[in-house]
Amino acid sequence: FWCMLMTAGLLLVGLPYSVCVAAQWYYGWPDKPGYKKYIEALNPRIYRLTIVTLDLLKYFKYGILHFQMKSWYKNEENSKYYQKGIVYGRKGKKLDLYYPPKRNKSEATLAPVVVFIYGGAWSSGERSLYCLLARQMTEELNTTVICPDYCTYPEGNVLAMVQDIADCLIWVQENGQKFSFDEDNIIVIGHSSGAHLATPATLFLTDARDELFIDSKKQRETASSIRGVILSGIYNIVEYYEHEQKRGIEYLSSMTRAMNGEENFPYYSPVHIVKKLSKEQLSRVPQFVLLHGDCDIVVLADSSVKFYELLTSLSVKVSLHLLGGVHHNEMVIDLMLPSRPYYRPIFRCIQQEFRKLLGPS
């Protein structure tokens, strides 16, 4: 019995703990002199990090789905549904464009366009992983869907990521006629860090920010084509960093490095950006739709609730939907196949808001 108990302890505690210590060593110990940084291995936060590591084991259940994504994307027979590898922007990044189910080149029936910005903790992600989601989105919303890649850390910092997303939105606004979609009806959808990045990209375009290095007139034209932003993510970087600390992942997370240090957290926080906008600028901000799973432990639902309350206080049009039983990754994973448990509830919510956003202004 004791042998079994020790073996179980080694596998469930000792092994994950060792992985956490090794990961912290690899990603960087705290900036402390000499041996003091190595004492971090005895810090209680390592035990919290061990719990996070054990929680990651649940993602093995998505192994089959990952294989389905890769197979679908590589299958040439599916090329009738989309065009992949289209180059956009000043850095030569690529996007995939998924056709609506009812394709018609008549101007009177051009489909609106969704730009989907995936997450990945500012340091990972690729457009191919969202092929099934994009395909289902074209069916459910009868829309063109564009999924771009953007630079991630360490290739670029958060500002570079925002610039890539802004470049993609500019490309969408300029290429509607060529690819037969309505460039004046753009909906931006983002998840997790993708939702975070989509927010300053939209707000910077609305405000025609110099740091985007895009002609101000072109920025405003593109911003005026964005009918709404549907998000599930992070809006206060200062508070999210505190959440990272509570989970023991702040040194492993790329967030601080991607933002060039804690001093830049306010600059990249949507809650701080909107507070600095004038009434005239706020009047040009597109409507926000905030979705969040109430079982999300990666990004707490409080993130969306507080952002909703702030936008409401500033008279920005916004709606909030808290989805019961939904965890962080289920918000996107369950949109990939109709057989997924939360596929219908989440899409029903998106469909409802999608129709409102494209209705008469």
At 26 the pLDDT is 60
At 249 the pLDDT is 80
At 323 the pLDDT is 97
Quickly list DSSP for 184-196: EEEEEEEEEHHHH
Q: Strand 82-88 and strand 111-117: pairing?
A: unpaired
Going from N- to C-terminal start, the domains of the chain cover 2-57, 75-357
At 235 the pLDDT is 97
Q: What is the CATH number of domain 75-357?
A: 3.40.50.1820
Buried/exposed code over 270-304 (b: 16+ C-beta within 10 A; e: otherwise)? bbbbbeebeeeebeebbbbbbbbbeebebbbbebb
At 15 the pLDDT is 67
Beta strands in 108-150 (DSSP E): 111-117, 144-148
- Give yes or no for a contact between 227 and 287, defined as CB atoms under 8 angstroms apart: yes
Integer Rg of the chain from CA? 21
At 253 the pLDDT is 85
Write the DSSP symbol of residue 167: H
At 14 the pLDDT is 62
pLDDT in tens, 311-321: 999 999 999 99
For every one of its 361 residues, what pLDDT tens digit does the chain have, with 9 covering 90 and above? Answer: 667 666 666 555 666 667 666 766 665 556 666 656 656 655 666 556 666 666 666 777 788 999 999 999 999 999 999 999 999 999 999 999 999 987 655 556 799 999 999 999 999 999 999 999 999 999 999 999 999 999 999 999 999 999 999 999 999 999 999 999 999 999 999 999 999 999 999 999 999 999 999 999 999 999 999 999 999 999 999 999 999 988 878 877 899 999 999 999 999 999 999 999 999 999 999 999 999 999 999 999 999 999 999 999 999 999 999 999 999 999 999 999 999 999 999 999 999 999 999 986 4
Any residues with CB less than 8 A from the CB of 90 and at least 6 apart, and which? 163, 167
Nearest to 27 by CA among 212, 184, 249: 249
